[in-house]
Amino acid sequence: MIDSTRTGDEVALRGILRELERAMTGTPEATATTFARYTDGAYVLTGPGGLVSDRAEILEGLRRGTVKFSSYSMDDLRFRVEDGWGVVIGRASGEGVNPGGEVFSGDNRFTSVWIKSVEGWKLVAWQATPIQDR
């Protein structure tokens, strides 16, 4: 059920995040296509280890299947949406295989920055921080 206090833009962003979440465990081409649809050309990822990657690098890895998730989910989402921009903070959990062929799993806190263009909402930045065991 959608909370009636949510704005239309928040509902739209929530839907995009769910679509991205589902796509992460799809075929390499489907994952890359969905990622491309919702990311801005200037998109930048700062990964959990501090490595910075641009959109082209990520798309290439997704298309080749060098990064493959066997499971991926997002929760604990918090939204701040204003005129033409939005920030979403949440938790992402995933398991898969990295470009080196090593199995990985982990939970990260993320901050994502979105802009609203004539094409709809586009992701411009994503920063992930590992959640440390307490």
Spell out the domain ranges in the chain. 8-130
| Amino acid identity at 86 | G
The residues, any chain, with a CB within 8 Å of residue 91's CB and separated by 6 or more, are 74, 75, 76, 107, 108, 109, 110, 131
Task: Please name which of 80, 88, 75, 72 lies closest in space to residue 34, comparing C-alpha atoms.
Answer: 72
pTM for this structure? 0.89
What pLDDT, on a 0 to 100 scale, did the predictor assign at position 99? 80
Alpha carbons 109 and 74: distance in angstroms, whole number: 10
Q: What is the mean pLDDT of residues 37-60?
A: 96
8-130: which CATH number, 2.130.10.10, 2.120.10.30, 3.40.50.2020, 3.10.450.50? 3.10.450.50
What pLDDT, on a 0 to 100 scale, did the predictor assign at position 2? 41
- Chain segment 106-128, per-residue pLDDT in tens: 999 999 999 999 999 999 999 99
Alpha carbons 84 and 69: distance in angstroms, whole number: 31
